[in-house]
Each structure stands twice: as C-alpha cells, then as structure tokens.
Amino acid sequence: MSAPGFPPAIFLMGPTASGKTALAVSLVERFPLEIVSVDSALVYRGMDIGTAKPDAATLARAPHHLLDIRDPAEAYSAAAFRGDALRLMAGIVARGRVPLLVGGTMLYFRALLQGLDDLPRADASLRTELEAAAAARGWPALHAELATVDPVTAARLAPNDSQRIGRALEIFQLTGKPMSALLDRAQSELPYRVLQLALIPSDRAALHQRIAARFDAMLAEGLLAEVETLRRDYVLTPDLPSMRAVGYRQAWACLDGDIDMQALREQGIAATRQLAKRQLTWLRSWPGAVALDCLAQDMESRACALVQAHLQARST
C-alpha cells in the first residue's frame, strides 16, 4: 500500500460480528504486534455491552489502544482518530513492535490512509441561494458554471447531480478554490507498508445468525441497564454520536417508552445487519485488501501466514 522502506503495519478490517477481535488477539499472541482500535463506539467510557468491548481477560492477553478515551457526552472525529492513531503507531514502532489496527469504522481507516480534506463546512444561506438558482435555471446550467471554475470536478459529475454540483459550487464560492485542488492537496501517504486484511463472510446468512446471537447476548448481559446508567451518569441526548450507535439508539427509544423489548430486539438486529451491509460495501471496493472468509476453518492460519510473510518481507 505504501512505498518500500517504511515500517510494516497491519489493518484488520471487517463487518460487525465477523470475529475481528478474536483473530487480533490470536495474532498478538504469535507476533510482536500492538492493537490500535479503529471503532467509533469503543472510544466511549461506560459503553461496554452494546459495543462488544473486549473484556478484562481479553485485554490482559492483548491490550488495545483507543478504548475508553471519551465520555459518551463528547464527540470523537475522524480527524481526532487520525492524530491519535499516527501518534500511537509511531510509539509502537519506536518500541520495536508493529501496529495492528483493528475495527470496522471504515471512515477512520480511510482517513488514516488518505488523510483528511480541508473543505469548509456547509453554508446554509449559500446552499439556499444555489438551490434557488437551480430552480430558476436548472442543474445542468449550474453544472456548466462549475465546469468553468472546476473542470476536474465537473467532468466526473452528471449534469443533474444536484447534491455534488451544489457542494462543489459552494466550496468554490466559500474558498475561491476548486474542490478538486483542495482534495488533491489533502492526500498524504501513510508512512507504513500496510498489509490490509478484510474479513468477508462467504455466507451472509451465517453472519446474520452471528449478529442475532450476539445482540441477544447483549440484551441478556444488560444492555438496557447499561444505557439507563449512562443516562443517569452523563448529560446525554439521543442525537449525540454515542447514543446514535447501533443498539444504543434502540435502547434509548425503549427506555423512553417508544418501543417495547421485542421491538428493541428486532430493530437492534435489523440495524446491526444494515451496519454490516454498509461495512461490506466499503470492503468489497477497498483497494489493496486481501479478503479472508471469516467463516472458513482455515481463516486464522491463512491470516497468520500473510502476517508472517509481511513482517519478514524486506524493503527494497
């Protein structure tokens, strides 16, 4: 993934319930690796059951970085993750070990690999003006206008792609620079030789069974009580990133009396399946990833062989 001469690193990516943590622990016990969590929910304190956070015994075998670093009332962004991950990876390498980044938050993996753009936030008043202009003249006319100021972006957009045309024109008017130039500037190579492993199930139905079983286990372990405790101990609202996490959103609704326990279970499982579907969509188009069937009997041995070869490879 990155240029020769860089130290090795490993990405272990996969949908929820694909067995990432178990495989990561196995790899740590065989190779000089340190785990950095790549999960937007595991960063929150007190959110243990609904995030399937590794328990104390697992963490004793394989410590994880970036767990329990935020209160659930706080935000955590891809930019914050990238800064934390780069710092931790450098420290791991300085200790003579290899970073193993494990998780399913694909936006965080992308931010780490590609860097972050420096695009301005949406401007509501400007967006209203652009939509009014489109209503009067049509989106093809605004597409033509975009082509005069940002031909690179215009060339990859359909003339009626209202959302992206509007965003590109908005960025140009806010910054005076074409979006394509800002995106190009944002790309920054990750200074590691990265082996990217993607756990992709050969049977979607089997993954769905795992998801249902795990959600039932979460309910049995006290997911509802966990959310009740969080609501008591912190000043939370249902629109916070932490409480929008799968399982927590449904538990919140149940505690508010909007849904019953049966609906909590059904909606929680359905939402987790949708999350897994989105993660798999990312992974199937992810450049450079080596796919491993997380349901295969030889998955762990294949992963170990790939990691061993990656660590033994000499830079040229």
Quick check: 273 and 211 in contact, CB under 8 A? yes
The confidence score (pLDDT) of residue 316 equals 45
How far apart are the C-alpha atoms of 8 and 101, rounded to whole Å? 12
The confidence score (pLDDT) of residue 185 equals 55
The confidence score (pLDDT) of residue 23 equals 98
Among 198, 31, 12, residue whose Cα is nearest residue 98: 31
The confidence score (pLDDT) of residue 284 equals 93
pTM of the model: 0.80
According to the 3-state scheme, what is the secondary structure of 44-108? ECCCCCCCCCCCHHHHHHCCEECCCCECCCCCCCHHHHHHHHHHHHHHHHHCCCEEEEEECCHHH
The total number of residues shown for the chain amounts to: 316
For the chain (length 316 residues), average pLDDT per consecutive 10? 77 98 98 98 98 97 98 93 97 98 96 81 86 94 94 88 89 88 67 97 98 98 98 96 97 98 98 97 94 97 98 73
- Do the strands 193-199 and 8-13 form a parallel or antiparallel pair, or are they unpaired? parallel
Quick check: 105 and 135 in contact, CB under 8 A? no
How far apart are the C-alpha atoms of 238 and 210, rounded to whole Å? 27
How far apart are the C-alpha atoms of 298 and 221, rounded to whole Å? 31
Q: Considering all CA atoms of the chain, what is the largest pairwise distance in Å, rounded to the nearest integer?
A: 65
The confidence score (pLDDT) of residue 191 equals 93
Q: Reduce the DSSP state of residue 246 to 3 states and report it.
A: coil
Alpha helices, DSSP H, located in the chain: 20-30, 56-61, 78-94, 106-114, 124-137, 139-149, 151-155, 162-175, 179-186, 204-221, 223-233, 248-255, 261-284, 299-312
Quick check: 15 and 280 in contact, CB under 8 A? yes
